[in-house]
Amino acid sequence: MPLRFPAPRLTRRRAAAGLAAALALSAVPSRAAEPVVLRVGDQKGGNRSLLEISGFGKDLPYTIAWSEFPAAAPILEALNAGALDVGYTGDLSLLTAYAAGAPIKAIGGTKSDPRSQAILVRQDSPIRSAADLRAKRLAGTRGGWGQFLIDATLEKAGIKLEDATFAALNPVDAKVALVAGSVDAWAVWEPYVSFATLKDKARVIADGEGLTPTITFIVASDSAIATKRAAVQDLLERLNKARLWSLDHLDTYARSTAALTRMPEDVLRAAYGAQRSSPIGIDDGVVQETQAASDRATRYGILGKRLDVSRVLDRSFTAPAPNAN
């Protein structure tokens, strides 16, 4: 016969101790949810000041940890490295980063007048039109709006890309090079265009009309979309509202931003008036326009391979886009 062991006797003392322990555990409150912190990349006079000036940055249900960068390229680098949750960049720079494997998505953005991208020459330059750019040295940002606008303008003028020299320079260095005469023309965007034309008497000889989408995308990391979606969505909606506010308050917006950036107020007023940046949602039209620009950039060699832009443009954050006046 198998051996049988008597069950241990539960004494009153043990029973009382077990009951006390159970009551103690039930009395411990559940840990409160950790507060959400969005790490957002910005440039001086960018989205942070827009939210503050417009008033749409108040009463946030989460915390924003702002980091300021000198340009969009390091914002993309920080997003790629996992150091940021949200940032913003131009359409071609987004595609360049995505093609390099950055785990990011565009979730919304703004569209500006394409004429706010332009190719500038010095006031005393013999260059009068895009047809005069053959054999000239042309400065712009590599992999972004500058290089794209130069290539698209040369193509439109019937000039082979190899018949001009591209100088990869950031806007600050390109401005110095143009003034010094070490480059013949400079492809750039607002507010640099307004500053150069108003203060340096530069001339516009070509612009982006019919050539570029001129979209600035709000970009989020895949990780932030997965783990902080509600906060990311709320921030996007606030930025859309703030951008619409700015269209109706260009003078106030320019004056306030000038105080923050030390950029001349008349330059910013001219730049904002030229851009007329309006919020957009990621819809069929945006996907098609961005795909066309991406295919053109691939043909120019700016992108190394053809991209399916629908994989980096996230439609899921798009509600009916607010209408600009």
**115-207 CATH fold:** D-Maltodextrin-Binding Protein; domain 2 (3.40.190)
Is the pLDDT reported for residue 28 higher than 50? no
Is the pLDDT reported for residue 10 higher than 60? no
Compute CA distances 129 → 41, 125, 139, 272, 288, whole Å.
38, 11, 16, 25, 30
**CB distance 193 to 61 below 8 Å:** no
Is the pLDDT reported for residue 6 higher than 70? no
Tell whether domain 37-112+214-317 is in CATH 3.40.190.10. Answer: yes
Residue 33: per-residue pLDDT = 64
Phi, psi (degrees; rounded to nearest 5) at 320: -50, 125
Mind spelling out the 3-state secondary structure of 19-67? HHHHHHHHHCCCCCCCCCEEEEEECCCCHHHHHHHHCCCCCCCCEEEEE
Rounded to an integer, the average pLDDT of 22-44 is 68
| Angle formed at CA 198 by CA 194 and CA 201, multiple of 5 degrees | 115
Q: Where in the chain is the domain with CATH 3.40.190.10?
A: 37-112+214-317, 115-207
Rounded to an integer, the average pLDDT of 133-148 is 95
**CB distance 81 to 223 below 8 Å:** no
Render pLDDT for 207-238 as a digit per residue (tens, 0 to 9): 999 999 999 999 999 999 999 999 999 999 99
Render pLDDT for 81-133 as a digit per residue (tens, 0 to 9): 999 999 999 999 999 999 999 999 999 999 999 999 999 999 999 999 999 99
SS3 265: helix
Could you identify the residue written with the tokens 């980096």?
312
